[in-house]
Chain A
Amino acid sequence: MENQLFKVVLNHSDEIVRLWMDEVYKNREKDYTATISNELFESTNREFVNVIFSSIENHGQTNGIENFAERLIYLGWPLSYLTDGMQVFRRVTVHYILKQLDAIDVEMCMEIISGVDHWIDPIINQLVNEYSGSWEHTVSLQKLALQELSAPLIPVMDNITIMPLIGTIDTERAKLIMENLLNGVIKHRADVVLIDITGVPVVDTMVAHHIIQAAEAVRLIGSTCILVGIRPEIAQTIVNLGINLEKFPTKSSLKRGIETALELTNSKIVSISDNQQGIEEILDSLDRERGK
């Protein structure tokens, strides 16, 4: 039976392709591919139908589908183009075969449908797998990229280190922040570490709780933590929430945080030009002494 079907479909492939093309064009008007040029749409359709037929001919043993799907993914065609196309192909083929037969009973009809499904379903599965595989790949890459951004620690001066935080803080990231902070403080021998939350969009109790815990842990290993970059609206929500941030110093900007950090480490930034002036004054006075 299956071989018979096989022959019918292959012998009348031109007819089926024509019917399929008509259907696909009809669908086109109402959907996503409207922005694609006619030539490209036409050639992609041809290729698509060739891929389907070569898969049927080779009993699914072909890597044409893989290559085709890969190229469409690369060009950004939606998956629905392929699934719609396959559904249309199934409908057209079943219709066509049924029409060729004079007398049909239910059993035969069922057999034809399951025979066609047998060709179509593996192709659909493979296409969907290719697409979802590519999405998963993208997501995992982005996750990695995000992780790399998540909690950097920057030593700026002897004993002073900054951790700038940008974006939403979730449980996983909070854990990373804590680990990096403690490791970094010990590695850089920091006396003061500044946590900059300018780029954190929302500070709720969970975020505050993690920051408080991190600051407490930093205190335990003998350093001081300063929370900087508290925007006015964040300050108001923290007050409304009733969160107590009294245990460690907080500052509005990184600049003021560094000033405090310098005070805490007994250091000072001195402008060189001022210094030179001082030296010149001394030389001047020496000259004057000599002149006397």
Chain B
Amino acid sequence: MDFQSCVTITKEWDIVGARQLGRDIAKKIGFGTVDQARIATAISELARNIYLYAGTGKICFETMDNLNSKGLRIIAIDNGPGIQDLTQVMTDGFSTSGGLGAGLPGVRRLMDEFDVHSQEGEGTEINVVKWLR
């Protein structure tokens, strides 16, 4: 497991940068086009959440290389206001910004592993993994 790289998110166009880097890494690992699109979309959602709700934060990528499986871990970290009610944000259709409310539940469905830690007032860390099959 080696730590690869991080993209700092401060403006809207950083989302595109993070997505591009994530897609490149996914391609290198050997993901197919559909999974590349899934990964890019998940990064897009996570990065946009950082941009919209926390203002600044970062997206980190890590290639996972175990004996029997390969994968990509994406970690989204911010020091924003945190998430008040985790069950609520994981419900489809819940949004505080007038959006579709499909972001986080969508990311959970796009990826294989999904883990969120959030402390109100301190920030949020979301950790997702996609395994290569």
- A residues within 8 Å of B by Cβ? 168, 170-171, 201-206, 208-209, 212, 232-234, 236-237, 240-243
- B106: Cβ under 8 A from any A Cβ: yes
Contact at B99–A206, with CB atoms within 8 Å? yes
Within the complex, which residue of A171, A204, A242 is in contact with B105, where a contact is CB–CB below 8 Å? Answer: A242
Residues of A within 8 A of B44 (CB): 202, 204, 206
Shortest B14–chain A CB gap in Å is: 11
Q: Is the CB of A241 within 8 A of B102?
A: yes
- Give how many B residues have a beta carbon under 8 Å from the other chain's beta carbons: 24
Name the distance in Å between A200's Cβ and chain B's nearest Cβ.
11
B 1-17 to A, binary, CB cutoff 8 A, 1 in contact else 0: 00000000000110010
Known A-B contacts A237-B38, A240-B110; the reply to A205 vs B33 at CB < 8 A is no
Contact between chains at B106 and A242 (CB < 8 Å): yes
Determine the chain B residues whose CB is within 8 A of the CB of A209 once the complex forms: 99-100
**What mask results when residues 108 to 119 of chain B are scored 1 for a CB within 8 Å of chain A, else 0?**
011000000000
Q: In the assembled complex, which residues on chain A have CB atoms less than 8 Å from the CB atom of B103?
A: 204-205
CB of B126 closer than 8 Å to a CB of A: no
Q: Which residues on B sit within 8 Å (CB–CB) of A201?
A: 19, 40
Residues of chain B in range 1-57 having any CB-CB distance to chain A below 8 Å:
12-13, 16, 19, 33-34, 36-38, 40-41, 44-45, 48
How distant is the Cα of A217 from the Cα of B105 in the complex, in angstroms?
A: 27
Asked if residues A171 and B106 are in contact (CB atoms below 8 Å), the reply is no
CA distance A237 to B111 in the complex (A): 11
Nearest 7 pairs between A and B by C-beta? Answer: A241-B106, A233-B37, A204-B44, A233-B34, A240-B109, A237-B41, A205-B100
Which chain B residue has the least Cβ–Cβ distance from A237? B41
Question: Beyond A205-B99, A209-B99: 7 further Cβ-contacts under 8 Å?
Answer: A203-B41, A204-B45, A205-B102, A206-B99, A241-B41, A242-B92, A242-B109
Q: CA separation between A212 and B99, bound complex, in Å? A: 11
A171 touches B12 (CB 8 A): yes
Q: Which residues of B contact A (CB under 8 A)?
A: 12-13, 16, 19, 33-34, 36-38, 40-41, 44-45, 48, 92, 99-103, 105-106, 109-110
Chain B positions within 8 Å of A206 at CB level: 44, 48, 99
CB distance from B37 to the nearest CB of A (A): 4
* Chain B residues closer than 8 Å to A168, beta-carbon distance: 16
Residue from B41, B92, B105 whose CB has the most chain A CB atoms within 10 Å? B41
B109 neighbours in A (Cβ, 8 Å):
240-242
Q: Enumerate chain B residues within 8 angstroms of A170, measured Cβ to Cβ.
A: 12-13, 16
In the assembled complex, the Cα of A203 lies from the Cα of B102 at a distance in Å of 12
**B93 to chain A: closest residue by CB:** A242
CB–CB B99/A204 < 8 A:
no
Contacts of A236 in B (CB 8 A): 34, 37-38
* Known pairs A171-B12, A201-B40, A233-B34; A208 contacts B110 (CB<8 A): no
Q: Quick one: which of A171, A208, A212, A237 contacts B37, CB cutoff 8 A?
A: A237
Inside 8 A of B110's CB, which chain A residues have their CB? 237, 240-241
Tell me how far the C-beta of A211 lies from the nearest C-beta in chain B, rounded to whole angstroms: 11
CA A243 – CA B105 in complex, angstroms?
Answer: 11
